[in-house]
Amino acid sequence: MPKRSGLVVARTRGEAREWHRAQRALGKRIAFAPTMGALHDGHLSLIKLGLEKADVAASSIFVNPTQFAAHEDLGTYPRAEESDLEKLAAAGCSFCYCPSPIEMYPPGDSTRVKVKDLSHILEGEVRPHFFEGVASVVSRLFLHVAPDVAVFGEKDFQQLLVIKRMTQDLGFGIEIVGAPTRREADGLAMSSRNAYLNTDERAQAVAVSRVMFATAAKLEAGEPIRAATDAATAELLAAGFASVDYVEARRADTLAPFGAETCPVGATGRLLLAARLGKTRLIDNVGFVRR
Ligand code: PAF
């Protein structure tokens, strides 16, 4: 298998398993951070966290077609394999799996994985195909790389919960670790899709984290949930967002609604939002605890 600055690059599941067996023979524990490429510091922080949890870090770069709807950005999703591999090597990653679509979904393939409870709400309501695509590809990546630990960013908090549930239900025996969201200096959550923002939109985008943190503070102080989230929606629209898909305060462990006017004292919640700025859809979330 080709190596770049200490990074082994595998293109087939056979090569991925060969690398896995070699690590096992050396007694190494493997941490895995799957990605769709166009790597930023948020991705590299997953590698760093992985290296705190295991002996070697592995990653993957695969723009997964099954998590995009026909009208979404599969064709234009940023791709930068060469520079991504350099960044991974510099971050101390030992292995990257870069399969082709046919390697992941062989001709005639008809198997999909669906996590029923969590996949139809919030992101799943707006992108009904999304979590089935994620669960299907992550389960395959887990089978091909067979790590001990897998690290996913809290930026995609619902995705993290879906993967935790899938891992538990299917008995993969992999420890799933959530990594804190990395932010730009002005608070915008790092995302490969931020590359779509033009200069004006990039300046407006800061409203997402500003409104989110202010709303979480209101919920912590016991402001009624609907008043706080409605005000957040209005502020995003006033800041130039074309539409707001949702601003929701949910229980952090299940993403179920609180079912009360205010969050109960001591409850741990997650505030999640998604809004569209021009052609770009931005999502973010933050945890809070009601005082
Ligand atoms: O978060 C992502 O980048 C993707 O959804 C993932 C987990 C790599 C699956 O394609």
Assess whether the C-beta atom of 154 lies below 6 angstroms from ligand 1: no
Residues 12 and 123 in one domain: yes
- The residue segments making up the domain with residue 21 are 7-179
Assess whether the C-beta atom of 137 lies below 6 angstroms from ligand 1: yes
**pLDDT range class, residue 1, cuts 50, 70, 90:** confident
Return the ligand 1 atom nearest residue 192 CA.
3
Assess whether the C-beta atom of 36 lies below 6 angstroms from ligand 1: yes
- pLDDT tens profile 9-35: 999 999 999 999 999 999 999 999 999
Evaluate whether residue 291 is within a structural domain.
no
Assess whether the C-beta atom of 34 lies below 6 angstroms from ligand 1: yes
Residue 4 has pLDDT above 90, yes or no: no
CB-based contacts of 75, cutoff 8 Å, min separation 6: none
What is the pLDDT averaged over residues 160-170?
Answer: 98
Evaluate whether residue 186 is within a structural domain.
no
Residues 167 and 242 in one domain: no
What is the pLDDT averaged over residues 37-54?
Answer: 98
Site to probe by mutation for ligand 1, drawn from 36, 136, 139, 167 as the one with most ligand atoms within 8 Å of Cβ, is 36
Q: What share of the chain is helix, strand, coil (3-state, %, to 5)?
A: 45, 20, 35
Site to probe by mutation for ligand 1, drawn from 140, 159, 164 as the one with most ligand atoms within 8 Å of Cβ, is 159
User: What pLDDT is attached to residue 155?
Assistant: 98
CB-based contacts of 286, cutoff 8 Å, min separation 6: 212, 213, 216, 270, 271
Q: If you take atom 6 of ligand 1, which residue's CA is the nearest one?
A: 35
CA neighbor of 63 nearest in space, from 36, 88, 84? 36
User: What pLDDT is attached to residue 3?
Assistant: 77
Kindly tell me the burial class for residue 141, based on how many C-beta atoms sit within 10 Å of its own C-beta (0-12, 13-18, 19 or more): buried
Q: If you take atom 1 of ligand 1, which residue's CA is the nearest one?
A: 35
What is the pLDDT averaged over residues 142-156?
Answer: 98
Residue 2 has pLDDT above 90, yes or no: no
Q: Where are the alpha helices (DSSP H) in the chain?
A: 13-25, 41-53, 81-90, 101-104, 116-119, 123-126, 130-145, 157-170, 199-205, 207-220, 225-238
User: What pLDDT is attached to residue 5?
Assistant: 76
Residues 13 and 116 in one domain: yes
**The model scores a pTM over 0.95:** yes
Pairing mode, if any, of strands 243-251 and 268-277? antiparallel
Evaluate whether residue 185 is within a structural domain.
no
**pLDDT range class, residue 211, cuts 50, 70, 90:** very high
What is the pLDDT averaged over residues 239-247?
Answer: 98
Mean pLDDT of all residues belonging to the chain: 97
What is the pLDDT averaged over residues 133-142?
Answer: 98
